[in-house]
Amino acid sequence: MKRLSLLRITDCELRVNEDYAMKTTLVTDIALLRHAIAQARRSGRTIGLVPTMGALHAGHLSLIKAARAETDFVVVSIFVNPTQFGPKEDFNRYPRPLERDLELCGQAGADLVFHPQPEVMYPSDYRTFVEVTGLQDVLCGASRPGHFRGVATVVLKLLNLVQPDRAYFGQKDAQQVRIVQQMVRDLNVPVEIRVCPIVREADGLALSSRNEYLEAEERRQATVLHRALTKAQRRIEAGEHDAAVVRQVMVEQIASVPGAVLDYAAVVDADSLQALDRIDAERPVLLALAVRFGSTRLIDNLLIR
């Protein structure tokens, strides 16, 4: 790891990566975050926000770099959001390599990292949550009840705190992206949502912080997600319009790999996220998968326009 120097200025931590020109400020307090944002606004800078849960990889960095290219002041949030984890999910296990994440943020061009503790975002008397009905209970929402209520709530809080001109999300979390788009539109939040492409390994596996949970054999097995999606895509491109047939292509591909346990394989309308009977060439289609390998649940998708 590159050497970092740490200076304390009032109650704010300023981390300087001495091997790179970029300086990244680490803020854990809402008042200091708002102060930094206000300073950026006063100097006429546009603001980009990249919400993350940390454990950064090249997919996250592509979002930070996109924000760096399109806005003047880039904020990255690193917050493992407890309200989107179910009681039997991996909240305590979720990786939190903060020092490494800060270095990567500096390299990618972030100006400020907001890393609050849970009690900062959810005080003891917290009572308010956001739901996006119709979109939150399908696909991942069917097997993770309450997950997207937590996602929508924390994203809206971050948008309110940072008030960015643009916020950056990855297509890998397609359902999350669609829910955020709907929430922003319905609640008149003045922000542009930018969706960036999935970043994959050479063998097609979509980058995910949870990939590091995989054992070596599970890692090899996990490439079946992308194979299943691309095989279904080719079937559509060959003229197949029956969504059930296309879904079965994915189901059979997943079933061909021992140890892969299918949560869902779906062919849905990309806007409503509702299951399709027939594939219409005039409307975008989302192919989506969730598969477990041991104790690790991975998702992937392919958007067909």
Tell me, yes or no, if 60 is annotated catalytic: yes
Question: Between β-strands 112-114 and 166-170, what pairing exists: parallel, antiparallel or unpaired?
Answer: unpaired
Burial of 9 (0-12, 13-18, 19+ CB in 10 A): exposed
Query: Which one of 60, 115, 147, 226 is the catalytic residue?
Result: 60
Report the C-alpha gap between 286 and 176 in whole angstroms: 13
Active-site positions read 60
